[in-house]
Amino acid sequence: MNTEALAVAGVLLAGLVVYAVSGGADFGGGVWDLLASGPRKARQRKVISDALGPIWEANHVWLILAVVLLFVCFPLAFAAMATALHIPLTVMLIGVVLRGSAFTFRSYGGGTDETLRWWGRVFASASVVTPFMLGVSAGAVASGQLPVDPRTHQVVTDFVSAWAAPFPLAVGLLAVALFAFLAAVYLTLETRDPRLQEDFRWRALMTAPIVFLTAWGAFVLARQHAPLVAAGLTQRSWSLAFHVMVGGSAVVAVAALWRRWYSVARVAAALHVALIVAGWGFAQFPYLLPPNLTVESAAAPQTVLRPVLWVLGLGSLVLLPSFFFLFRVFKSNPPTDA
């Protein structure tokens, strides 16, 4: 096995895990902005806005890292994905731009109440569409329906059927539900108002069974539509331990919410999401893009991989402390009057 390619693939997967745990909660916050209701809906939206404001843009660093690593270090896989999945990926990127722009205009652009409400609807709608398309793209990759011709290195695709299929669509629904659950758990710690904490607590508890149903539905569909991933999740030496940890983290998160142990719930929910994303990567290993491209066969030459690993090591000395400082400044204490 090419150790440099394996190391870069590990960093790529880690970047996706961190993006799901951090950026995924940002998308989930938009879902709850869309579904804000009751006598405190304006205050619910303010909590969401205050929670997202300092960090939402920074969280996209992890997605950018993943895209750049894929482009530079695994160009065959990048070309195949970008070609076959250009429709959902384009919709996703448009959603990222619309979401960020709408959030900024609503927060700082001024204007009439109707204008601000319009920007709010754009922000919230894009927060649903974007993670859905992200999940659809991930499901299409896992399904193994993006074969690459070994002679021409071109992907065999009709541009639609690989992602407009039951399994990718189920993964898209799972991504929206999972991120909404994660955001609701996080938001319980973004305010000190007990009534608002209860609002988000109940939203998290109500979303938990939806996460279970969408996850179970995706797993059942995977047996037929993504057999490599299904086999990886059930037949590897670590499969049983993985399911125990995924189920255990979900139970701990729900139990902690029930007892109002919000800090415990946050850790358990983040671990739950991280395990699901990491499980996808490990389940299809050694394939980067099933059914033809493995991590090794899709990798760039070592003359590319080695400098990238050096840059990643040096860059982490700046990036990781910067993120720690960012969260310490803006997330140490929630607002007292949200």
> What is 152-171 written as a DSSP string?
T--B---SSTTTSSHHHHHH
Query: ω before 227 within 30° of 0 (cis)?
Result: no
Which amino acid would we find at residue 136?
A: V
Q: Cα 137–138–140 angle (5° rounding)?
A: 65
Output 188 or 325, whichever has higher pLDDT: 188
What is the pLDDT confidence band of residue 334, given thresholds at 50, 70 and 90?
low
Total domains present in the chain: 1
H or E segment to which residue 246 belongs: helix 239-258
Question: Is residue 103's pLDDT more than 50?
Answer: yes
Q: Is residue 202 part of a domain?
A: yes
Q: Which domain holds residue 63?
A: 3-331
Nearest to 250 by CA among 276, 278, 287, 222: 276
Output 252 or 58, whichever has higher pLDDT: 252
Q: Is residue 96 part of a domain?
A: yes
Q: What is the pLDDT of residue 324?
A: 85
Q: What is the pLDDT of residue 67?
A: 93
**Rounded to an integer, what is the distance from CA 196 to the centroid of its chain?**
25
Q: Is residue 79 part of a domain?
A: yes
Q: What is the pLDDT of residue 338?
A: 47
Which amino acid would we find at residue 335?
A: P
φ/ψ of residue 136, rounded to 5: -60, -45
Q: Is residue 221 part of a domain?
A: yes
In three-state secondary structure terms, 323 is helix
Give the mean pLDDT of the chain. 90
Bridge partners for 177 per DSSP: none
Predicted TM-score of the model (pTM): 0.92
For the four alpha carbons of 28, 211, 187 and 323, in that order, the dihedral sign comes to negative
Q: What is the pLDDT of residue 246?
A: 95
| Burial of 30 (C-beta count, 10 Å sphere; 0-12/13-18/19+) | buried
Q: What is the pLDDT of residue 115?
A: 81
H or E segment to which residue 288 belongs: strand 287-289
Q: Is residue 67 part of a domain?
A: yes
What is the pLDDT confidence band of residue 105, given thresholds at 50, 70 and 90?
confident
Which amino acid would we find at residue 153?
A: H
- Per mean pLDDT, which range of 130-144, 164-178, 319-333 is the poorest? 319-333
Return the residue matching tokens 């920007």: 119
Bridge partners for 148 per DSSP: 155
Say what angle helices 194-225 and 113-143 make with each other, to 10 degrees.
30
Bridge partners for 293 per DSSP: 289
Q: Taking residues 107-133, what's their average pLDDT? A: 85
DSSP tag of 301: P
Q: What is the pLDDT of residue 197?
A: 93
Dihedral over alpha carbons 211, 213, 217, 219 (to 10 degrees)? 60
Q: Cα 320–277–54 angle (5° rounding)?
A: 40
Residues in the chain: 338
